[in-house]
Structure formats: structure tokens, C-alpha cells
């Protein structure tokens, strides 16, 4: 029981992914992500970070090697995962409430339980007032909140996020970063987060994996020892800035590889 | 509101101008009545023969609506089959193009010969002509679902039925309505074309197409004009109802149907 949190939730062994001959996306990836970690994947475009995330979700299969999530095949552990995409991917014909309830509905959770769960989530992400609005009426930041609420509705133990805030302005992005950490402190999930932003990665993560391109591989792993809870003020701390500078430096090196 | 009123006033002004030019042309060029009746003669024909005009319009409306509704049902079913695989689409899509390019005027006599003249045959012609836009648009809607949305459904282990009813079909509804809008106008054209060949069981009483033929053979040009007017109005009202339904079902969430009256 004591060692429980040291059992890797995600484990890659010599995973290679190629789309046909000559199109090698990821080469020989070994990685372990432990329970309760927040791992960011960062790297130049074309380094296969989105593919890595899709491999964890079982949305694409490795060409070589094995992937285990909770000791099982990814496709068989989807019930414990949620995926947040770069676009909010809301169904435009559903209201905010109906969108948040989509996962629960697909997993056939009874409607009474669903209603309670949705109401508490909407309150949690601050969307109570727009519960009956359609996605069209929402700003980009609000849509992303709905997307996050939908992902959390099914009680995931693992949250996979593919550049979820890339399309948002910096202020909205910072605020959602802070909220994401607040939600995590209340709900405890493991996170794998793909991003282009070094500052975002440092702010959110317990560990940053820097990927190098051609073919995609893990170039360096940078632990982020900043204490939780992290608030907006953290961004002004010298320790934070030092880490951002270091991560940026490693990222530059990875690009030159 | 004010802009809408101005729009209506402009449209009315054009209408009045056309009537004035029409009447002036008659006076200036001394056109004989059987060639071109005056606007008043047409108006008189409408009021004097209103019951039979209404009967003809109702018959044509019934045939068009029957054909259109059948094309929606059959078209959606075919689109669902098309959406199953690229392979099926490649194999069968050329035939839907044929459906669109076949000259309905040439095929109508054949159909009447095969199924026998009557309302059913005419509705069948309206059905054939309306089918292609329904199939093409609905198929497009069914297959153009964003890949991430499909992944989202996969992540929640959605069944095939859930993917169909909660994702693909609702996503295709706006495209289906585009198809219905296109088909609504041409279904009336199809029905009238069919009636030109179908004849009638009762001399002088039939759909608009039949009555147009009959009126022209009798040189009742004023009534012929009234019939053409009715046919145009019928097509227009089909189109308008289709637009309204589209707005009614989509205005909450879909961009295209947001404000139908602001062009």
C-alpha cells in the first residue's frame, strides 16, 4: 500500500511510432509517469508530443514497444482517462449543461447523478450562470472551461491535455492555468500536458519532458521543485524565472540537435 | 425593423413598376389579348376561377410534398449508407450524379408508362428530382465530423449507435436542411413537369402542369398567366417553409440559421 503511489501510472517501453517507412515520429521512448505527477511535454513542432499523448490515450497504436496505463492496455483504461483537446470540441447543438454531461451520458450514468455532478462542476469552473447557453454564445476562455468541466465530469484519474490553452490570449491562459491547479488540488488527478509555452510548463508541472525532433525522442527531463499551492505570484519569483530560463535553454539545445 | 420595412417597400415598388411597364407595353405596341393579357385580365382570371386554381395548386402541392418527403426519408437512408465507407461512396456516388443530370423531361413519359398516370407517378417524378441534393448534402454532413470529436467519443467508449445519434446525425442536420431547401423548389418543378405528361382523369381539372397545357390549348392566356403565377407562388412557399423550418430547428446553435431576415 505504501508503495502504491510509486507504481507508474503510465509506462512506455521502447515505444516507436512511425507512419509508414521513412516517417518516424517517435523513436524508442522509455518513460514512466507516476500517480499524482503533472508532466508537461514540451518541444518544437514535429517532435511527436501530440502523438505521444494519443498513444497514452490509445487513440493511435505504437509501431513497436509496449504501453501500459495502470498496468493495462491504454484502450482498456479509457474509463479512467479524459482528454482535453486544443479546440474546446464542444457539440454546438448542446447547451453548456448538456456538453458537460456528454461523457457521463455516453458512459450511461443515470440522469439524477448526472445532474448533481454537472451542477457541482459548473459551479467549480464558474459557469453556473451560462448553464443553458449554447457554445456559440461563449468566449474562447469560457468554452475551454466547459471542455475542462466535461473532462472532469467522469472522475478521471488521468487527464491528458493537448495544448488546451494555445488558442487563448495570455491573460486568459494564465488564469486558466491557476484554475487548473486549483481543480487538481481538490480532485487529485495525474496530468500529462502538451504545450509550446515554457512558462506554462514550469508553472503547472512537477516534471517537464523536453522532446527533440527528427525523430521525436525525449531529450531531457527537468524536475520542477516549486511548492504547491502555486498562485499567480509564483510567476514573479526568481526561482520560477530561473527554471523558465533553464527550460528555455534546454529547449533551444533540443532544437539544435 | 425600419430597414426591413424599407426592404419590403422596395420590393413592392419593383412589383408596381413591372405592372406599369407591362400595361404601357400593351398600350404602345397593341399586343393582342391572347398573346399577352393585361395585368387586370390576369387578376380577373384569378378571382373568377379561384376555386379551380386552388384545386390545381392543391393537387400539385400534394404531389410535390409527397415526393419531397419521400426524398428526405430515402435520401437520409442512402446518405447513412454512403457515410459507412469511402469504398461505398466511390462505388455508388457516380449514380447520384446521374440522378442529377438525367433530363427529367425525357424520363417523365417513361415513368408514366411504367407506373401509370396519376398522382403517384407525378410524386415519383418529384421524388427523383429532389433526391440528389438531399443525398449529396446529408452525406457531406455525416462525413465531415471533426476528428477530435470522434476521438472524444472514443475516449468515452461510445457505441456505434451513440456515435451516430449523438454525433454524426446532429452534425449533419444543417447540411440536410441545405439539401431540403434546394430540393423544395425543384420538387415543385418536378411535379409540374410530370403533370405535363400525366393528363387527368377529368377534363379540365388537374394539377398546375396539366391545367397550363389545357389553358394554352384553349388560348386562355389570362388564366395561363394565373396558373404560372400560382406555380411560382407554390415553389416560393415551399422554399419559404423550408427556410423557416431550418431557422426554427437551428437558430439556437448554428451560424447559418442565426438571422434569416438580415441578408
Span B89-140, pLDDT tens digits = 888 888 888 888 888 888 888 888 888 888 889 999 999 999 999 999 999 9
Provide DSSP, B71-99. Answer: HHHHHHHHHHHHTT-HHHHHHHHHHHHHH
SS3 at position A95: coil
Residue predicted with more confidence, B187 or B34: B187
Using 50, 70 and 90 to split pLDDT, how confident is the model at B72? Answer: very high
Inter-chain touch A85–B153, beta carbons under 8 Å: no
Beta-carbon count within 10 A of A51 CB = 18
Task: Compute the average pLDDT of residues B158-175.
Answer: 94
Beta-carbon count within 10 A of A252 CB = 11
Q: What percent of chain A has pLDDT over 90?
A: 61
Q: Would you say residue A171 has pLDDT above 60? A: yes
Q: State the number of CA atoms in the 13 A half-sphere of A165 facing the CB.
A: 24
Query: How far apart are the C-alpha atoms of A176 and A151, rounded to whole Å?
Result: 15
Residue predicted with more confidence, B16 or A8: B16
Q: Regarding beta strands A24-34 and A158-162, do their DSSP bridges make them parallel or antiparallel, or are they unpaired?
A: unpaired
Inter-chain touch A107–B157, beta carbons under 8 Å: yes
Q: State the number of CA atoms in the 13 A half-sphere of A200 facing the CB.
A: 28
Inter-chain touch A93–B156, beta carbons under 8 Å: no
Give the A-side interface with B, CB within 8 Å.
Answer: 54, 57, 59, 78-79, 81-83, 85-87, 89, 91-94, 102-103, 105-107, 134-136, 154
Q: Which of B36, B43, B67 is nearest to B195 (CA)?
A: B67
How deeply is A164 buried, as exposed, middle or buried, from its count of CB atoms within 10 A (0-12, 13-18, 19+)? buried
B163, B75 Cβ separation under 8 angstroms = no
pLDDT at B204: 64
Q: A34 — phi, psi (to 5°)?
A: -85, 165
Say if B167 is an interface residue toward chain A (CB within 8 Å): yes
B153, B163 Cβ separation under 8 angstroms = yes
Q: Which of A197, A206, A98 is nearest to A146 (CA)?
A: A98
Q: A31 — phi, psi (to 5°)?
A: -155, 155
Using 50, 70 and 90 to split pLDDT, how confident is the model at A3? Answer: very low
Closest chain A residue to B152, measured at CA: A83
Minimal C-alpha gap between B105 and chain A (Å): 41
pLDDT at B263: 36
Q: Would you say residue B244 has pLDDT above 80? A: yes
Beta-carbon count within 10 A of A82 CB = 26
- Segment holding B113, helix H or strand E: helix B104-115
Using 50, 70 and 90 to split pLDDT, how confident is the model at B203? Answer: low
pLDDT at A6: 59
Say if B248 is an interface residue toward chain A (CB within 8 Å): no
| CA geometry: angle A12, A54, A195, nearest 5 deg | 95
Q: Which of A70, A96, A67, A56 is nearest to A9 (CA)?
A: A70
Inter-chain touch B253–A105, beta carbons under 8 Å: no
Task: Compute the average pLDDT of residues B159-187.
Answer: 94
Q: How many CB pairs under 8 A join A and B?
A: 58
Q: Regarding beta strands A158-162 and A207-212, do their DSSP bridges make them parallel or antiparallel, or are they unpaired?
A: unpaired
A38, A55 Cβ separation under 8 angstroms = no
pLDDT at B201: 67
Query: How far apart are the C-alpha atoms of B175 and B134, rounded to whole Å?
Result: 9
Q: Would you say residue A193 has pLDDT above 90? A: yes
Inter-chain touch B154–A78, beta carbons under 8 Å: yes
Say if B154 is an interface residue toward chain A (CB within 8 Å): yes
Query: Which of B146, B148, B253 has the CB atom closest to A136's CB atom?
Result: B253
Rg of chain A on CA atoms, in Å: 18
pLDDT at A257: 73
Q: Would you say residue B205 has pLDDT above 90? A: no
Query: How far apart are the C-alpha atoms of B72 and B183, rounded to whole Å?
Result: 9
Query: How far apart are the C-alpha atoms of B187 and B131, rounded to whole Å?
Result: 9
Inter-chain touch A59–B151, beta carbons under 8 Å: yes
Cα B110 to chain centroid distance, Å, stands at 22
Inter-chain touch B173–A93, beta carbons under 8 Å: yes
Residue predicted with more confidence, A1 or A161: A161
Query: Which of A78, A134, A135 has the CB atom closest to B157's CB atom?
Result: A78
Minimal C-alpha gap between B38 and chain A (Å): 52
Task: Compute the average pLDDT of residues A214-237.
Answer: 90
Query: Which of A54, A82, A106 has the CB atom closest to B153's CB atom?
Result: A106
Beta-carbon count within 10 A of A135 CB = 21
Q: Regarding beta strands A24-34 and A8-18, do their DSSP bridges make them parallel or antiparallel, or are they unpaired?
A: antiparallel
Of the residues B144, B253, B254, B259, the best mutation for testing chain A's interface (the one with the most A CB atoms within 10 Å of its CB) is B253
Largest CA distance in chain B: 77
Q: Would you say residue A2 has pLDDT above 60? A: no
Query: How far apart are the C-alpha atoms of A16 and A30, rounded to whole Å?
Result: 10
Residue predicted with more confidence, A200 or B112: A200
Say if B255 is an interface residue toward chain A (CB within 8 Å): yes
Beta-carbon count within 10 A of B136 CB = 22
Task: Compute the average pLDDT of residues A234-255.
Answer: 92
Query: Which of A79, A89, A136 has the CB atom closest to B157's CB atom?
Result: A79
B104, B128 Cβ separation under 8 angstroms = yes
Per the prediction, chain A carries an average pLDDT of: 90
pLDDT at B164: 93
Please give the sequence-ordered ranges of beta strands (E in DSSP) within A54-202, or none if there are none: 64-69, 81-84, 158-162, 190-195
Q: Which of A47, A46, A9, A51 is nearest to A31 (CA)?
A: A9
Residue predicted with more confidence, A2 or A165: A165
- Segment holding A207, helix H or strand E: strand A207-212
Minimal C-alpha gap between B253 and chain A (Å): 5
Q: Would you say residue B256 has pLDDT above 70? A: no
Query: Which of B152, B158, B254 has the CB atom closest to A92's CB atom?
Result: B254
Strands, sheet with A24-34, edge to edge from the N-terminal-most edge strand: A24-34, A8-18, A64-69
pLDDT at B232: 93
Q: Would you say residue B262 has pLDDT above 50? A: no
Amino acid at each position: 500500500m505504501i508503495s502504491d503511489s510509486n507504481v507508474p501510472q503510465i509506462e512506455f517501453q521502447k515505444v516507436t511510432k512511425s507512419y509508414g517507412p521513412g516517417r518516424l515520429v517517435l523513436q524508442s521512448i522509455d518513460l514512466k509517469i507516476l500517480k499524482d505527477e503533472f508532466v508537461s511535454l514540451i518541444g518544437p513542432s514535429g517532435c511527436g508530443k501530440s502523438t505521444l499523448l494519443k498513444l497514452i490515450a490509445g487513440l493511435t497504436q505504437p509501431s513497436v514497444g509496449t504501453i501500459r496505463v495502470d498496468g493495462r492496455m491504454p484502450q482498456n483504461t479509457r474509463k479512467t482517462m479524459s482528454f482535453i483537446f486544443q479546440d474546446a470540441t464542444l457539440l454546438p447543438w448542446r447547451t453548456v449543461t448538456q456538453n458537460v454531461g456528454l461523457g457521463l451520458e455516453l458512459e450511461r450514468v443515470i440522469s439524477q447523478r448526472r445532474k448533481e455532478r454537472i451542477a457541482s462542476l459548473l459551479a467549480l469552473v464558474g459557469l453556473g450562470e451560462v448553464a443553458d447557453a449554447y457554445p456559440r454564445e461563449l468566449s474562447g476562455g469560457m468554452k475551454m472551461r466547459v471542455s475542462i468541466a466535461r473532462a472532469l465530469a467522469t472522475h478521471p484519474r488521468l487527464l491528458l491535455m493537448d495544448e488546451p490553452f494555445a488558442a487563448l490570449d495570455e491573460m486568459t491562459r494564465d488564469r486558466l492555468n491557476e484554475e487548473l491547479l486549483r481543480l487538481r488540488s481538490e480532485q487529485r488527478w495525474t496530468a500529462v500536458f502538451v504545450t509550446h509555452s515554457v512558462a506554462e510548463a514550469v508553472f503547472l508541472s512537477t516534471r517537464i519532458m523536453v522532446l527533440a525532433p527528427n525523430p521525436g525522442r525525449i531529450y531531457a527531463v527537468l524536475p520542477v521543485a516549486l511548492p504547491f499551492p502555486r498562485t499567480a505570484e509564483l510567476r514573479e519569483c526568481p526561482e520560477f524565472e530561473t527554471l523558465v530560463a533553464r527550460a528555455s535553454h534546454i529547449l533551444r539545445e533540443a532544437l539544435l540537435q | 425593423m425600419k430597414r426591413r420595412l424599407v426592404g419590403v417597400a422596395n420590393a413592392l415598388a419593383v412589383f408596381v413598376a413591372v405592372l406599369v411597364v407591362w400595361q404601357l407595353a400593351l398600350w404602345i405596341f397593341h399586343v393582342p389579348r391572347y398573346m399577352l393579357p393585361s395585368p387586370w385580365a390576369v387578376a380577373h382570371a384569378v378571382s373568377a376561377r379561384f376555386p379551380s386554381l386552388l384545386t390545381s395548386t392543391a393537387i400539385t402541392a400534394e404531389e410535390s410534398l409527397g415526393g419531397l418527403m419521400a426524398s428526405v426519408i430515402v435520401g437520409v437512408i442512402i446518405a447513412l449508407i454512403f457515410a459507412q465507407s469511402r469504398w461505398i461512396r466511390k462505388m455508388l456516388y457516380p449514380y447520384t450524379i446521374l440522378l442529377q443530370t438525367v433530363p427529367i423531361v425525357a424520363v417523365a413519359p417513361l415513368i408514366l408508362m411504367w407506373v401509370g398516370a396519376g398522382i403517384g407517378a407525378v410524386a415519383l417524378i418529384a421524388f427523383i428530382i429532389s433526391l440528389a441534393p438531399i443525398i449529396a448534402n446529408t452525406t457531406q454532413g455525416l462525413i465531415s465530423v471533426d476528428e477530435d470529436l470522434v476521438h472524444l467519443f472514443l475516449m468515452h467508449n461510445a457505441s456505434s449507435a451513440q456515435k451516430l445519434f449523438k454525433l454524426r446525425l446532429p452534425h449533419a442536420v444543417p447540411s440536410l436542411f441545405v439539401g431540403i431547401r434546394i430540393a423544395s423548389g425543384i420538387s415543385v418543378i418536378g411535379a409540374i413537369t410530370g403533370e405535363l405528361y400525366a393528363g387527368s382523369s377529368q377534363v379540365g381539372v388537374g394539377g398546375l402542369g396539366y391545367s397550363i397545357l389545357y389553358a394554352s390549348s384553349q388560348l386562355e392566356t389570362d388564366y395561363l398567366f394565373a396558373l404560372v403565377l400560382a406555380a411560382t407562388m407554390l415553389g416560393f412557399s415551399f422554399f419559404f417553409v423550408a427556410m423557416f423550418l431550418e431557422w426554427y430547428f437551428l437558430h439556437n446553435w448554428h451560424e447559418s440559421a442565426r438571422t434569416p431576415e438580415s441578408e
